[in-house]
Amino acid sequence: MQETTHALNGWYVTGLCEGEACFYVGFALRKKLKVGIETRPSFSLSLNQKDLRLLQSVEAYFGCGGIRYSRSDRTYKYEVRSVRDLVRKIIPHFERYPLQGAKKEDFERFADICRKVHANLHLNREHLKQIIEIAYEMNRSGVRKHQKQDLLRVLGEEKG
Amino acid sequence: MQETTHALNGWYVTGLCEGEACFYVGFALRKKLKVGIETRPSFSLSLNQKDLRLLQSVEAYFGCGGIRYSRSDRTYKYEVRSVRDLVRKIIPHFERYPLQGAKKEDFERFADICRKVHANLHLNREHLKQIIEIAYEMNRSGVRKHQKQDLLRVLGEEKG
């Protein structure tokens, strides 16, 4: 008999995410884009491999995103990258069941950026500059591929 | 104006604990005890220092235990060691709002041991042997001060 995932309580999901989830906005250099930089928001939740079934319940709860295995640290990562899903499913969840700790600030910046991206403001140089500034206020302990100044320099160089 | 902690939702607390809490049963050699070994159950939740206020809300939610700072890893740890509080406050919480992942198994072993200790069964050699066996099935990834075989040897040596 196959075990099925069961419905999680919304507050439980937020509590789990308070400790384990990550709201992140990455940037990639893309010469084909007019502004030269791609904006890539993502929501992810990593758990030890013994909690795969729990992660599947989280995936079922949100109804979007996917799970993949990271061999290096023996974790499964649930991740949502679709801006449409972030704006329609992930963000509304955390507005209905708000984070209670320091991660709430990251979430608010993340929601702000996702909505700007959803409205295509990231394709405008001035708005993208703002988005980069907001993103670099988030997850300050993490490691980033690009320095903020390098991204801003690319924006300055590109001609509209 | 002092910020006050606010009431947390029970499911939120369980979600947070799913990722961050630890149910642990330690043992210490105590020559003064007839069985030679002290049984020390504890429930703890460690968060980064920026989440002290959240930890205070957790302390207020459970109405027991205390918080201390760990300088080495810049975290605050909320901890409950009183067996009475564990049995009357912590365990009933997780029975009302159950863990949904792999940690649930640790919790069930922990609850079993706490109730045995609360009934003073840990002062009986045969029951203590059982308690040790159960405890060493928990938190298998953690580091322990005493090997299980050493504790069982102490029990074997001690005369009633």
Domain boundaries, chain B: 10-157
Q: Which two tokens stand for residue A43?
A: 């929501």
Tokens of A2: 């196959």
Nearest CA in chain B to A55: B101
Put simply, the answer to whether A100 touches B47 (Cβ < 8 Å) is no
Query: From start to end of chain B, where are the E strands?
Result: 21-29, 37-48, 66-70, 75-80
> Which residues in B lie closer than 8 A to residue A9 (C-beta atoms)?
11, 15
CB B12 to CB A8 under 8 A? no
Which member of A10, A11, A51 has the closest CB to residue B101? A51
Query: For chain A, how many residues are written?
Result: 160
Condensed to tens digits (0 to 9), the pLDDT of residues B85-103 reads 999 999 999 999 999 999 9
Q: Do A101 and B17 touch (CB under 8 A)?
A: no
Measured between CA atoms, the residue of chain A closest to residue B141 is A48
Segment holding A23, helix H or strand E = strand A21-29
Judge: B15–A10 Cβ closer than 8 Å, yes or no. no
A71: amino acid identity, one letter: R
Q: Count Cβ atoms below 10 Å from residue A92 Cβ, excluding itself.
A: 12
Query: What does the buried/exposed string (b/e) look like for A121-158 if buried means 16 or more CB atoms within 10 Å of the residue's CB?
Result: bbebbebbbebbebbbebbeeeeeeeeeeebbebbeee
Beta-strand (E) ranges in B8-65? 21-29, 37-48
Bridge partners, residue B41, by sequence: B25
Closest of B133, B137, B158 to residue B37, by C-alpha: B158
Q: Which residues are paired to A125 by β-bridges?
A: none
**Residues 31 to 90 of B: which have CB under 8 A from any A CB?**
47-48, 50-51, 53-54, 57
pLDDT of B156? 84
Written as six digits, the tokens of B126 are 């045969």
Task: List residues bridging with B15 in a β-sheet.
Answer: none
Residue B36 CA to residue B32 CA, distance in Å, equals: 7
User: Which of B3, B6, B16 is the mutation pick for testing A, counting most A CBs within 10 A?
Assistant: B16
Kind of pairing between the strands at B21-29 and B37-48: antiparallel
CATH of A10-157, one of 2.60.40.10, 3.40.50.1220, 3.10.28.10, 3.40.50.300: 3.10.28.10
Note whether B13 contacts A8, CB cutoff 8 Å: no
ipTM of the modeled complex: 0.90
Condensed to tens digits (0 to 9), the pLDDT of residues B5-28 reads 679 999 999 999 999 999 999 999
- Please give the pLDDT value at position A71: 87
Q: How many helices (H) and strands (E) does chain A have?
A: 7, 4
Assess A16–B contact: CB distance below 8 Å, yes or no.
yes
Q: Cα Rg for chain B, rounded, in angstroms?
A: 17
Q: Judged by CB atoms within 8 Å, which residues 120-159 of B form the interface with A?
A: none
Contact A15 B10 (CB under 8 A): no
Q: Is A160 helix (H, G, I), strand (E, B) or coil?
A: coil
Nearest CA in chain B to A20: B19
pTM: 0.91
Instruction: Report CB contact under 8 Å: B101, A11.
Output: no
- Is A135 in contact with A25 (CB distance < 8 Å)? yes
Partner-chain contact B14 A18, CB within 8 Å? no
CA distance to partner chain A, nearest, from residue B97 (Å):
9
What string of pLDDT tens digits covers the 160 residues of chain A? 445 567 999 999 999 999 999 999 999 999 999 999 999 999 999 999 999 999 999 999 999 999 999 888 889 999 999 999 999 999 999 999 999 999 999 999 999 999 999 999 999 999 999 999 999 999 776 678 888 988 999 888 654 4
Query: What single letter denotes the amino acid at residue B81?
Result: R
Q: Which residues of B touch A14 (CB under 8 A)?
A: 12, 15
